[in-house]
């Protein structure tokens, strides 16, 4: 999980919400058109076009707007931009069943004490990764319960995600065999920054 620094909500969303009057109340179900497109674009940009939970590359066509605190239990936050993230589709919600993960797996789950949130600056400190692509709780005992519950509730260790991580790890390891420690550090810094397209 990578930290997402939330930006300001799109101006079009702010303007749309300000249209509220005694005859009309904005709601998430009514959000559409330019305002919704602007929300998608802003989320993708601030996340570097990766899923808020698993880090998979996403596009407008392969993601959905995820509410960190679910609309069912936190309806007053449904239009709060800070509560919105872009999550990968995490496979199908309808038969035939496929491995579901990330936002679709999370569903209505949210626990203030056990949810590791990607909008918290230290979210990456809760996890470690093995060479086989498995995500595990950190060794820090104060972070293990939240990490374990988040991994399980988001389905972050399904075989598909482990295979994708292992493939990425193997590709990097093959390419850096002859690198010096300094060159490896420079490579790590480059991987942590968006490219010219913001990805």
Query: pLDDT value at position 199?
Result: 87
| pLDDT tens track for 47-56 | 999 999 999 9
Percent of the chain with pLDDT over 90: 77
**Whether 92 contacts 39, CB under 8 Å:** no
Backbone region of residue 101 per phi and psi (left: phi > 0; alpha: psi in -120 to 50; beta: other values)? beta
pLDDT at 9 > cutoff 70: yes
- As a whole number of angstroms, the distance between CA 161 and CA 143 comes to 22
**Which phi and psi angles does 122 have, rounded to 5°?**
-100, 20
Identify each DSSP E strand in the chain by its residue range.
Answer: 63-67, 84-88, 127-129, 135-137
Q: Which structure tokens are listed for 35?
A: 């305002």
- Averaged over 31-38, what is the pLDDT? 96
Tokens (6 digits) for 103: 């936002």
Task: Using the predicted structure, report yes or no on whether residue 18 has a pLDDT greater than 80.
Answer: yes
- Kindly tell me if the per-residue pLDDT of 174 is higher than 70: yes
Query: Measuring CA to CA, how many Å separate 126 from each of 39, 143, 164?
Result: 28, 6, 20
105 within 8 A of 153, measured Cβ to Cβ:
yes
pLDDT at 193: 82
pLDDT at residue 192, as a whole number = 77
Q: How confident is the model at residue 196 (pLDDT cuts 50, 70, 90)?
A: confident
Instruction: List pLDDT tens digits, range 160-171.
Output: 999 999 998 888
Q: What is the pTM of this model?
A: 0.89
How many percent of the chain have pLDDT more than 70? 97
In this structure, how many other beta carbons lie within 10 angstroms of the beta carbon of residue 105?
20
- Residue 93: predicted pLDDT: 59
Q: Indicate the DSSP class of residue 79.
A: T
pLDDT band at 185 (very low <50, low <70, confident <90, very high): confident
Q: Nearest Cα to 9, choosing from 81, 71, 96?
A: 81
Domain ranges of the chain: 11-191
> Mean of the per-residue pLDDT values for the chain?
92
pLDDT number for residue 171 = 82
pLDDT tens digits for 95-148?
666 788 999 999 999 999 999 999 999 999 999 999 899 999 999 999 999 999
**What pLDDT is stored for residue 186 in this prediction?**
84
């Amino acid at each position: 999980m990578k930290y997402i620094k939330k930006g300001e909500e799109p101006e079009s969303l702010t303007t749309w919400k300000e249209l509220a009057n005694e005859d009309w109340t904005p709601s998430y179900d009514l959000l559409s058109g330019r305002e919704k497109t602007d929300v998608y674009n802003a989320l993708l940009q601030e996340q570097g076009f990766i899923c808020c939970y698993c880090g998979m590359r996403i596009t407008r066509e392969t993601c959905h707007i995820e509410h960190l605190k679910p609309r069912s239990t936190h309806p007053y936050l449904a239009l709060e931009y800070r509560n919105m993230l872009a999550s990968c589709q995490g496979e199908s919600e309808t038969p035939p069943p496929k491995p579901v993960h990330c936002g679709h797996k999370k569903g209505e789950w949210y626990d203030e004490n056990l949810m590791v949130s990607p909008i918290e600056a230290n979210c990456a400190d809760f996890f470690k990764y093995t060479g086989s692509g498995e995500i595990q709780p950190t060794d820090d005992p104060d972070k293990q319960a939240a990490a374990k519950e988040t991994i399980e509730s988001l389905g972050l260790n399904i075989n598909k995600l482990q295979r994708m991580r292992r493939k990425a790890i193997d590709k990097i390891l093959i390419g850096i065999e002859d690198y010096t420690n300094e060159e490896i550090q420079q490579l790590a810094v480059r991987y942590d920054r968006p490219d010219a397209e913001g990805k």
